[in-house]
Amino acid sequence: MFCFQCEQTARGTGCKDPRGVCGKQADTAELQDQLTGALVGLAYAANDSEPDADTHRTILEGLFTTVTNVNFNNQAIRQQIDKTEKEIKKLVSRCGDYSSQCSKPYGYNVSELWTADEDIRSLKSLLLFGIKGMAAYAYHAFVLGYTDEEVNQFFYKALRAIGTDGAQMSDLLPLVLETGQANLKCMELLDKANTETYGDPVPVKVPLTIEKGPFIVVSGHDLRDLHLLLEQTKDKGINIYTHGEMLPAHGYPKLKAYPYLKGNFGTAWQNQQKEFDGIPAPILFTTNCLMPVKESYADRVFTTEVVSYPGLVHIDEKKDFTPVIEKALELGGYKEDRKMTGINGGDTVKTGFARGAVLSVADKVIDAVKSGAIRHFFLVGGCDGAKPGRNYYTEFVSKTPKDTVVLTLACGKYRFNDLDLGEIGGLPRIMDMGQCNDAYSAIKVAAALAEAFGCGVNDLPLTLVLSWYEQKAVAVLLSLLALGIKNIYIGPSLPAFVSPNVLDLLVKEYQLTPISKPEEDLKKILG
């Protein structure tokens, strides 16, 4: 086993036998590598034969399956490998010439990548982990009926590059930046899918109190799964609560119209083993952020989509949530209202400040900047995690001056989203723009402000302070770099898969800066 795709990788270098820090066993990691190798083979097969919608879906499902904290189930991964190999055979049968590139599918060994020259390994890892993150976004759009051929084709191009021997840094670096451009298009596609399906998010205050009676907790990122569950729980007397990255769902008009979508349960994903312990309700995981499930609540955890864990009930593509609903009624929920709080003791959080909401008051924002009421914007967001050092983000936000605004997105916001920092000109100083994929909203807001002030994005009074954990954060970072955005602060540690030479290149070209101490970084940023 070797895996270093997440921020918490062992010793900051890589997880090895017998298991990863995330709880992934060595045999599971090996199967995920086999699946990745099969996907490389499928990309080669698709190069000489026209891939169809089934091929595209196989690529998305396969890559998504290997994202951190998604799938711990060897049987499910083997099924995905079988599905991929079946798709390869289908395409190869169309090739005619078996001596062509179509013969390559059956043999790419991903372990060769982990032992390659460190700079080549670094760039291929950025490429691989970037498209894994992008696949998650593309999959969410796909299930809503939205797809983009340019995005689909890039997955094949990137996978073939990963499987190509003899690649040089000069070949791979442009492709890494192209991954960022492709992911930007992918995030735009998902933004369109979500907003055209559920409406433009609006600001909303979300309670953290759990009302008495039966309830279901929905975790992950997939809005469609939440919507389907809301439909199936009509008139059942069951309340629905979001968890983790599902929090921004409260801002979508079509979803918030359901009166029994009540509030948010718990804090960030890494606290689930404590917060789910003894919970009198079922939990539905729709995407990643599943941790190894403790026996004390294993009987009430359900998975769907590509998420899977041994011994848990899996809701298949028919999306019949009857087992989840029956479990909620059986457990009955709390006997009295249960008041929960955020990390800092707050009992409500706000969300829904996506690009539409922010740009609707752009004139107020611009006037506040021109008058000096707003001195600086910080985008503080990204993935949360359990590794020490992430309190930096709580301290950073709490220490930001009163004439600054904090935009945030992704689950990293749980470090500070229950803080009350007050308002500037009627606008809250903390504005949650949504899930990690909603970085597109932040980019659109930055572009609109730059246009209003007649300058480039890098000339705005705006600093990005990012936390990363898994592969979607890698994809977002590559998009920011592809846009030429500089002076990004990143932490809590640098990726283990980035070699010194590649890091030096990123620092020189983009002024990518590791976080230090909140006070020092604020002083450096604000002068």
Q: Tell me the domains of the chain and their CATH numbers.
A: 2-197 (1.20.1270.20), 208-339 (3.40.50.2030), 352-526 (3.40.50.2030)
Cis-peptide into 492, omega within 30 deg: yes
Tell whether the model's pLDDT for residue 429 goes beyond 80. yes
Higher pLDDT, 162 or 95: 162
The more confident residue out of 93 and 25 is 25
In the structure, what pLDDT confidence band is assigned to residue 104 with cuts at 50, 70 and 90? Answer: low
* Whether 424 contacts 406, CB under 8 Å: no
The answer to whether the beta carbons of residues 402 and 486 sit under 8 Å apart is no
What confidence category does residue 425 fall into, taking pLDDT thresholds of 50, 70 and 90?
confident
230: pLDDT confidence band, cut at 50, 70 and 90? Answer: very high
At residue 217, φ and ψ (nearest 5 deg) are: -105, 130
DSSP per-residue codes, 352-364: ---HHHHHTTHHH
SS3 state of residue 402? coil
The neighbouring-strand residues paired with 239 are: 215
Alpha helix positions (H), 257-361: 272-275, 322-331, 355-359
Please give the distance of CA 350 from its chain centroid, rounded to a whole number: 20
Would you say residue 505 has pLDDT above 90? Answer: yes
- pLDDT (0 to 100) of residue 96: 53
Q: What is the pLDDT of residue 167?
A: 87
Residues 6+ apart with CB under 8 A from 17: 1, 26
How confident is the model over 251-285, as pLDDT tens digits?
Answer: 999 999 999 999 999 999 999 999 999 999 999 99
The DSSP 8-state label assigned to residue 6 in this structure reads S
- pLDDT classification of 99: cutoffs 50, 70, 90: very low
- Rounded to two decimals, what is the model's pTM? 0.96
Q: Which residues contact 160 (CB under 8 A, 6 or more apart)?
A: 40, 43, 44, 47
Does residue 240 carry a pLDDT above 70? yes
pLDDT digits (tens, 9 = 90+) for 302-335: 999 999 999 999 999 999 999 999 999 999 999 9
pLDDT of residue 107: 58
Stretch 189-209: mean pLDDT: 98
Give the model's confidence band at 388: pLDDT under 50 very low, under 70 low, under 90 confident, else very high. Answer: confident
> Rounded CA gap, 167 and 93, in Å?
29
Burial class (CB in 10 A: 0-12, 13-18, 19+), 454: exposed
**Helical H runs in 221-300?**
223-232, 253-256, 272-275
Which residue(s) pair with 15 in the sheet? 3
370 Cβ neighbours under 8 A, 6+ residues apart: none
Question: For the chain, what is the mean pLDDT?
Answer: 95
Given a cut of 80, whether residue 94 has pLDDT beyond it is no
Neighbouring residues of 79: CB distance < 8 A, sequence distance ≥ 6 = none
Question: What per-residue confidence (pLDDT) applies to 273?
Answer: 96
Residue 342 has pLDDT above 80, yes or no: yes
Which residues lie closer than 8 Å to 19 by C-beta, 6 or more apart?
A: 1, 25, 26
Q: Are 338 and 291 in contact (CB under 8 A)?
A: no
Provide the token pair at 362.
């752009």
The fraction of the chain above a pLDDT of 70, given in percent, is 97
User: With 70 as the cut, is the pLDDT of residue 16 above it?
Assistant: yes
Q: How far is the C-alpha of 342 from the C-alpha of 307, rounded, in Å?
A: 26
pLDDT, position 98: 43
Q: Per-residue pLDDT for 87 more than 70? A: yes
Give mean pLDDT, residues 162-183: 94
- pLDDT per residue over 461-497, tens digit each? 999 999 999 999 999 999 999 999 999 999 999 999 9
Task: Give the CB-side neighbour count of residue 510, counting CA atoms within 13 A.
Answer: 22
Q: Are 282 and 328 in contact (CB under 8 A)?
A: yes
- Say if CB 247 and CB 226 are below 8 A apart: no
Quick one: what percent of the chain has pLDDT higher than 90?
Answer: 92
